[in-house]
Amino acid sequence: MSNAEGGCTKTGYATKPPPKAKLKMYPLREINGLILLWHDEKGKAPAWEVPEVAMKGWSKLLTIDWKLRSHPQETTENSVDIGHFVAVHGYKQVEVIKETVTEGPLLNATYAMHRKAGFLGKAKEHIRVEFYAEAHGLGYSIVEAYIPKFDIRTRHFVLPTPTKGNYINLKIGMMVKDIEHPGKIHPLLRLIPKKLIQNIILQTAFKGYKHDVSQDFKIWENKIYVPLPALAKGDGPVWQYRKWARQFYYSEELVVTN
């Protein structure tokens, strides 16, 4: 048995526990419905904290995990890789609302783009979606998305965790804010309980979210890290992101993949 500090308090022989019998402990935080663990190569305490967001008025959190051959820096780089929004995901009219800003361990950016309406509209219709993305370090990103036409807000989590070798466990999650104006989605929805509408939107939108993330898998698993990439106009602030990412390493070597 062990105590909260990892020290052994009892053996199976009614003898005094060995003084060196101690578990390695990691700082934990329960934030935003998630259990977050801090790991530091040199065993140092957390240098910053992930901020809490309002949970009241939001749906339950749906999550899924994948095992991928990649690196947290690669998956988080998607937040600034503007060019891939069109090439990989087929979004249209990608617009930078607010330039990428970095401050300490925080990186944020605001975009807008048009994507297929899916279940929310006609088959070929594209609707505007606005995204506010925050990355806190390389292992925790949160994105707030807003669809003005239907007054729908969603919250997305991207949580890559390095495992063995060149692999990560990629967990994503999604929530939907309470539906205040169902009539903006469709007039007949005024007759349906808002919680039921919210759950339908959550389940359907999460299916779309999983599809969009999975479109990146082949790139992440086959991408070769180039320290000084030849960037073209339209690629996005990739170099700004990589300079920001350096603070999370003790060595100058940022990424080792493939």
Domain harbouring 200, CATH code: 3.90.380.10
What confidence tens digit (pLDDT) does each residue in 169-191 have? 999 999 999 999 998 888 888 88
Amino acid at 176: V
Q: Can you tell me the mean pLDDT for 50-76?
A: 96
Inside any domain, residue 32: no
- Among 128, 120, 125, 118, which Cα is nearest to 93's? 128
pLDDT of residue 256: 45
What confidence tens digit (pLDDT) does each residue in 21-57 have? 888 888 999 999 999 999 998 989 999 999 999 999 9
Inside any domain, residue 22: no
Domain count, the chain: 1
Inside any domain, residue 111: yes
Inside any domain, residue 11: no
Inside any domain, residue 98: yes
DSSP line for 62-101: EEEEEEEES-HHHHHGGGT-HHHHHHTT--EEEEEEEEEE
Amino acid at 231: L
Inside any domain, residue 162: yes
Amino acid at 120: L
Q: How confident is the model at residue 228 (pLDDT cuts 50, 70, 90)?
A: confident
Domain holding 169, by residue range, is: 60-248
pLDDT of residue 257: 44
Contacts with 118 (C-beta within 8 Å, 6 or more apart), sequence order: 204, 208
